A and B are shown apart, each in its own frame.
Chain A
């Protein structure tokens, strides 16, 4: 099961249109951006969340402001790196590098995108078995889906395996 069906065709079209426009003008044009169009949903087994370990994946661009480099948010072709931070990180230790959403909401209440406290409460209530100790964070302006597949997805899988999780929650921004 492919995450992106017809990858080769998607990549060729992306280069011919979106990348070529950017190379010519230095600007992006989402009128010529080829959105992924899958036809088949992946198969997968259910889990009993109350007996599972859950990994939080956030694309809000969160990073530890005192010890990590911010994401390259102004990059019009995207930043495909990731940061890791502990699930019990205080919100005051986080900053968010992502230029493609309005930060007024996350500044007022980080749980609109990074639900650390809600998830911790759900563990206390027995709804979730446990949380993976490390959050996977990236900055979700990532127009090049081939780079998402080649760089971000393997990194998420590595984290999921190394933390021995049975489930993952993605909260896009």
Chain B
């Protein structure tokens, strides 16, 4: 009978522990420079930001401030935790951040978005729409690729989408499936697409979309819904509340976005534009 060696057992145990440890890192964590440009070391990587700018951190338990002050904000289990303004990260803060046991998946992480894609595919095979709305069956990994998914804020101007792949070129076709009618097709250039605000973007409306490459091959099919007018009011109120405690507008915006489940908007907001991508 095969007996695993002690070394192998330890290795497997170590791998399991590492997986567990990784799972607990799924926190949405951002920093913002309070009064001047700042610099932090995030898990060994140097990240600079200008005053008022907010950036996402990979490992908020492992942050070092080189130039402060900064505000640190952590979204965990549906709650917001604010630290700062800080000139240095004290052990007490590290312990507090580490103690935030988070079961939520962080939408900023590609693994989390990929999980959403899987769930969308599963749920598409079950249940029946109450009002008979025909919905496109998901294909590929739209959330993982950075395309809109879940609940999204109604764009005041155009809907600006940054894909994960900055080299992607093709076409995005958008069709209203409920609460609005019509469709639009827009080119995707260098991983960016702008959909002009037409009457398509009605509050509470749902959409399905198809992303095709330059060879017209379908790369992904997904869906999203726009916020209702009342949800937009909720957002405005949450933002006003957040501004009472946070100095950074961007962090206050992120807090209000998270409070209203606008995960995709929060994720897009902290993605770098253009050459920085």
Partners in one complex: no
Using a CB–CB distance below 8 Å, which chain B residues touch chain A? none
Using a CB–CB distance below 8 Å, which chain A residues touch chain B? none
